[in-house]
Amino acid sequence: MKRENGVEGEKRSFISWLNNVFLFYYAKWVLVGLIAVAVILFITLEGGGRKIKYDFQMGIIVSGGISWDSTEQLRGLVEKAAGDVNGDGEVQIDVQIVNLGDIEQAEANQYKVMVLMSQHEYTLYILDEEMSRHYSDLEYFDDLRNYGFTPDEKIPYRIDVNDAAVIRDIAAPYHFYACLFDWAAIGKGKQERTDAALRVISALLDDRTVDVPVLVPAP
């Protein structure tokens, strides 16, 4: 009986520790870790179970939903501008779309953004007004003036690309900005990935459409 009481006591101690210590202090971080691993596995294996050697990777973060199909023209521009970065004779790009306006998936999507922004392969982000302002305030991105661009006057970490034809093709009710995450500048990424991001930004700026006034001949 002594042994049984001891076992029951150990069980009660474990349950007490689980409820009062683990669930209170550690459970959230375990969940964060599991979600992060799941996101990384999804990004790595989404190409039909085969690991793709991407030339260029970027994120589109918005406070609402946009469809994958609506980004087809954008992806085409990115593929052409980035080019064969890894020199394997193919051009493969990875574009991750995260909707932070989805209330049901809000926490999971926030963790997905955290995972994306912790990976040095992702050097370019397209964000809407709200998201670009939020992450720029946190100084996540690089000052685009240091790369020869003329960014937003008040927020130099973002540059307006909303007038690019490929962005207009998305037909979303958001104002889009491009932001650079230069991992190479802090010794954690490859310079060729930063260079590819700069080429994509330049291509977006070159793709901007300007309304030309129609001149009516004088009678």
- Mean pLDDT of successive 10-residue segments in the chain (219 residues)? 45 49 48 54 53 92 92 97 96 94 86 91 96 91 97 96 95 94 95 98 90 43
Residue 215 placed within a domain: no
* 213 belongs to a structural domain: no
Total number of domains in the chain: 2
Q: Give the Cα separation of 194 and 180 in Å (integer).
A: 8
Q: Are residues 127 and 202 in the same domain?
A: yes
- Give pLDDT tens digits for 125-138: 999 999 999 999 98
Q: Is 123 exposed, middle or buried (0-12, 13-18, 19+ CB in 10 A)?
A: buried
Domain that holds residue 34: 1-49
pTM for this one? 0.75
In a shared domain, residues 73 and 148: yes
Q: What DSSP state is assigned to residue 55? A: S
| Residue 119 burial (C-beta neighbours within 10 Å; 0-12, 13-18, 19+) | middle
Q: Are residues 160 and 58 in the same domain?
A: yes
CA–CA distance, 90 with 96 (Å, rounded to integer)? 20
Give tens-digit pLDDT for 146-194. 999 999 999 999 999 999 999 999 988 999 999 999 999 999 999 999 9
Q: Is residue 105 assigned to a domain? A: yes
Q: Does residue 219 belong to any structural domain of this protein?
A: no
In a domain, 144, yes or no: yes
Q: Are residues 152 and 180 in the same domain?
A: yes
